[in-house]
Structure 1
Amino acid sequence: MSVSRKFLLVLPLLALASGCIDRPSPQKRQPSRTSSRPPAPPRPELRQCLSNLTAQRAVFTPVEDRWYGSACSTVGTVKLAALNTDSATISVTGLGPVTCAASTPFAAWARYGVDRAAQQILGSRLVKIETYGSYSCRNVAGTSRRSGHASANAIDVSAFVLGDGRRISVLGGWNGGSPAERRFLRVVHDSACKRFGTTLGPDYNAAHENHFHLEADGANFCR
């Protein structure tokens, strides 16, 4: 076979090889991201809400608005870390993004509802509120309706820790705690009903036996 003919046969192979050289490897591909929009000045109502939250001495960081599709979003949210009182700091664990509209009544409830009840009924200050989180893209159990968690507008509270080391969980204390602990949990549940549109606890159904569901939805539903 002539040299020129061999050269012609090799050209297609070189072309195929060169076509793969610049193809980006899977490791270099950018992962899919949720939809976010360019930062914009907070809406007037959000600015006022953030101002109110600051006035309540909350420790928080504003979170960028995001839309996840399927009617799920975290818009007008903050990352709430703690609440300062005159003599202590109440830490909050387990929370992801939560709307400012839900954070504001939560801060008031923690400081004036839970902390005061802890001192008056249990004789010790509140130092921590444990939660199961806030944002979760899901429906209300057993329905096709989006949960308040799908818009980060609800918080699930699971337990309270006191300055003397006691930990009072909703699951263990609602029916199984001491008389004082059972009274404390019912008082703080009733206090939440005055601040949130929807408040659900163990007496509502089995799905809430281990937490209080607190939602700022403008409703009037306390169970």
Structure 2
Amino acid sequence: MPQPDSPDHQAQLPSAQPRQRHWLGLVVICSAIAAGAYGWYSGAIVIPDRFNPWAPLDVMAPPDFLTGYKLSRTRSDPVRCLNALAQTKMAYDRLPDRVTGPGCGFENAVLLRTAGVRLGAPLSLSCPMALSFFMWEQHALQPAAQQHFGQRVAAIDHLGSYACRNINRGERSAPNAPGASRSRHATANALDIAGFTLQNGKRITVLKDWRPADAATPPDAEARMLADAHQGACRLFNGVLGPDYNAVHRDHFHLETGGYALCR
């Protein structure tokens, strides 16, 4: 049997060195984090806004990995949302808060008169909805048009925004049936887009030019632009519904804020 001080006995004792190195590593990491946090708090370390999740949303900056968080945070605060909307240079008027019926009305909304594109009739939109619309037009729709046609979108054809009505579930759904769920349109948190007109006058419509993912024929430039605009909307709105969702949306994109994440 090995003696207490024999080499064989010492080899059987657990070494404390790996455990000491583990704790030393944790101390170093925690110290580095604490030093970095103090440096940021004291101003000694400056984090660029694009890497700072608490920096205000820059509506003109190209979207990155923090844009979704900053946009959501901005939309949730009425004052912060209006400040961001003022950066867009869109022409709009503040609308007074109002209730127009059970589950209908809006708060912190604007009447959008002109944007980077022609709109036709002005749009009543909540501030979060107007902000997401600008971000989509600026950072998704226009890049898609430039990529596939080498020119900008000059006008957007829409089917309206605010309307005191229920969710449209097809021919058998009554617009205002008692007990039915209200649409996001009922709170100015939705907008339906039917098509686009390019600078050269070319019109692209969801009804005519959309191609489902399983279509037998390859998508043309119009279909690819619509697909890119749809996917771009999914990054900047809470909910996006198109022709692949159901027949009710065969001729438009439904864009909304305030609901659950949905991209169909």
Question: Normalized against structure 1, the TM-score is what?
Answer: 0.73
1:124 partner amino acid: Q
Distance 1:94 1:205, change over 3 A: farther
The answer to whether the 8 A contact 1:156-1:211 is kept is: yes
Residue 195 (structure 1) shift: 0.7
Superposition map of 1:13-28 within 5 A: none
Report what 1:114 is aligned to.
141
Report what 2:86 is aligned to.
54
RMSD in angstroms over aligned alpha carbons?
2.0
Partners of 2:91 and 2:157 in 1: CA distance: 16
> What do residues 167-190 of structure 1 show as CA deviations (whole Å, max 9, x unaligned)?
111111113997000000000000
Report what 1:82 is aligned to.
114
> What do residues 140-186 of structure 1 show as CA deviations (whole Å, max 9, x unaligned)?
12471110001110000111111111111111111399700000000
Report what 1:204 is aligned to.
245
Partners of 2:95 and 2:218 in 1: CA distance: 37
Partners of 1:152 and 1:117 in 2: CA distance: 26
The answer to whether the 8 A contact 2:206-2:250 is kept is: yes
Moved more, 143-152 or 101-110: 143-152
Q: Which of these residues, 136, 151, 159, is aligned with residue 195 of structure 2? A: 159
The answer to whether the 8 A contact 2:113-2:121 is kept is: no
Residue 58 (structure 1) shift: 1.7
Quick check: 1:188 aligned with 2:215? Answer: no
Q: Which of these residues, 153, 164, 167, is aligned with residue 126 of structure 1? A: 153
Report what 1:22 is aligned to.
none
2:196 partner amino acid: F
Distance 1:66 1:154, change over 3 A: same
Q: Which of these residues, 105, 128, 131, is aligned with residue 104 of structure 1? A: 131
Partners of 1:67 and 1:130 in 2: CA distance: 27
> What do residues 111-130 of structure 1 show as CA deviations (whole Å, max 9, x unaligned)?
11101110111111111112
Unaligned 5+ runs, structure 1: 1-43, 85-89
2:237 partner amino acid: F
Quick check: 1:174 aligned with 2:205? Answer: no
1:184 partner amino acid: M
The answer to whether the 8 A contact 1:95-1:134 is kept is: no
Quick check: 1:66 aligned with 2:98? Answer: yes
The answer to whether the 8 A contact 2:101-2:164 is kept is: no
Partners of 2:195 and 2:123 in 1: CA distance: 17
Structure 1 runs (4+) deviating above 3 angstroms are 175-178
Residue 95 (structure 1) shift: 4.3
Residue 61 (structure 1) shift: 1.2
Partners of 1:158 and 1:166 in 2: CA distance: 14
Partners of 1:177 and 1:201 in 2: CA distance: 19
**Structure (1 or 2) with the greater strand fraction:** 1
> What do residues 88-141 of structure 1 show as CA deviations (whole Å, max 9, x unaligned)?
xx1223443110111101101001110111011111111111211111111112
Distance 1:177 1:78, change over 3 A: farther
Report what 1:146 is aligned to.
182
- Identity of aligned pairs, percent? 37
Superposition map of 1:1-40 within 5 A: none
The answer to whether the 8 A contact 1:196-1:218 is kept is: no
